[in-house]
């Protein structure tokens, strides 16, 4: 997702800005897809961090029971 974000969406956004196209590539096709991809990446990051914290708590509880 990150590589698609860099190679596709960022390029379209930059091209739209370079050609002063406020509607097409700049916002609806470039920026919107960049933000959507970023939100998905951040959501996955939050999920993974929550799972890691939960596993750490489980390990600590298991160690306390021994």
Q: Quick check: helix, strand or coil at residue 1?
A: coil
Cα–Cα distance for residue pair 23/16, rounded to 1 Å: 8
Q: What angle do CA 48, 52, 53 make, to 5 degrees?
A: 120
User: What is the pLDDT, as a whole number, of residue 19?
Assistant: 77
Mean pLDDT of all residues in 21-34: 74
Mean pLDDT of all residues in 40-45: 96
Instruction: List, in order, residues 6 or more apart from 58 with CB less than 8 Å away.
Output: none
Return the higher-pLDDT residue of 23 and 64: 64
Distances (CA, A) of 51 to 15, 19, 47, 56, 61: 39, 44, 6, 9, 15
């Amino acid at each position: 997702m990150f590589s698609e974000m860099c190679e596709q969406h960022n390029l379209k956004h930059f091209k739209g800005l370079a050609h002063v196209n406020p509607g097409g590539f700049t916002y609806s096709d470039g920026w919107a897809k960049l933000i959507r991809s970023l939100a998905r990446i951040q959501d996955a990051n939050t999920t993974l961090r929550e799972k890691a914290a939960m596993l750490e708590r489980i390990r600590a509880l298991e160690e306390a029971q021994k």
